[in-house]
Amino acid sequence: MLEVRDISKRYGNHQVLSYVSFEVKAGELAALVGPNGAGKSTLLNILANLEKPDTGHVAINGLSNQSQEIFQDLTFMLSAESLYPQLTGYDHLSYVAKLHQIPKQKMKELVERVGIGHYVKKRVASYSMGMKQKLLFTMAILPRPKLLLLDEPHVGLDPTNIIQQREMLLELQEKGTAILLSSHHLSEIEKLTHQIYFLKDTQLIEKEVRTMAYDYQLLVEDCPDLMQALNLFPTMLVQQVDQTMREVFIAEENILPFLQKIPVSKVKSLSKTSEYMEGLYRTLYVAERRNSDETMV
């Protein structure tokens, strides 16, 4: 559905992206992660043909993203600044519905489901950030796109609305929509997908984080007892870290029986998987920044 090849972008002397390549297939949900200024929004703008790359090309459903035809399959949830404050939410949605030939009844049903019906006919100027985000999300999913791009969709949302948005995204994914979103909300990304792209030093680092079905992450040193224990719990996820160490992901109901099978001295770390994404982020960005700051002092 989405094919990205060798995308580079520079602003003056500042290199933002360097030969970025990846794919998101139909029915896949992927996340872009990185600190402010890493190039997430720039990349999404390039994918949606709102900015031109210096090198590379993008294909959406087999067509170059330079073609206007891509917008039959693509929608992009923009930032709140793209809304017209003097217009109502209903005005914005009516425009999208007319553009994509969507019946007004379908639009009204989605408005009620997302929960914006009580303010949709008020001017956007009176909306809070959370209200604007819900309107933007409704506009993005109304056409039932084959490819959905979202830039920081969680901004301004309370926990109830984040859960609702997650459920609707997973429903779209199940129906075959390819989804790519950027977010700083690490714990929510863990609940949405294991297909994660970290942007660092202008390049893309792909990580497959399959922790959603597990409650604990352990770092265990290889030993005969470990190998026997792994055979007893076949549903665990196990990854070889190096020649002597394995990373084990395990469900809560199996954690105590598993630990009883191996020597305590062989368990080098134990943490909840809810902390796993934050740990990856710290390793990639926070620790390096701290080391850089110490070097400069």
Q: What is the DSSP string of 81-121?
A: GGS-TTSBHHHHHHHHHHHTT--HHHHHHHHHHHT-TTTTT
CA–CA distance, 234 with 211 (Å, rounded to integer): 15
Mean pLDDT of 36-65: 93
pLDDT at 296 over 90: no
CA–CA distance, 65 with 71 (Å, rounded to integer): 9
Q: Where are the domains of the chain?
A: 1-206, 214-274
More confident residue, 272 or 60: 60
Q: Which of 82-86, 210-214, 289-293 has the highest mean pLDDT?
A: 82-86
To the nearest whole percent, how much of the chain has pLDDT over 70? 92
Question: In the CATH hierarchy, which top-level class contains the domain 1-206?
Answer: alpha beta
Q: What is the pLDDT of residue 187?
A: 78
Mean pLDDT of 56-71: 91
Confidence of residue 286 (pLDDT cuts 50, 70, 90): low
Confidence of residue 290 (pLDDT cuts 50, 70, 90): very low
Mean pLDDT of 160-179: 95
Name the CA dihedral angle for 205, 183, 235, 224, rounded to a multiple of 10 degrees.
Answer: 50
Mean pLDDT of 243-266: 90
pLDDT at 44 over 70: yes
Instruction: Compute the mean pLDDT over every residue in the chain, rounded to the nearest whole number.
Output: 88
More confident residue, 173 or 269: 173
Mean pLDDT of 11-28: 94
pTM attached to this predicted model: 0.78
Which residues, at least 6 apart from 237, have a Cβ–Cβ distance to it below 8 Å? Answer: 210, 211, 213, 214, 248, 249, 250
Confidence of residue 288 (pLDDT cuts 50, 70, 90): low
Asked if 24 and 193 count as a contact pair (C-beta separation under 8 A), the reply is no
What digits encode the pLDDT tens for the residues 103-155? 999 999 999 999 999 999 999 999 999 999 999 999 999 999 999 999 999 88
Output the DSSP codes for 239-268.
Answer: EE-SSSEEEEEE-HHHHHHHHTTS-GGGEE
Mean pLDDT of 274-278: 67
* DSSP, res 72: G
pLDDT at 293 over 60: no
Q: What is the CATH number of domain 214-274?
A: 3.30.70.1150
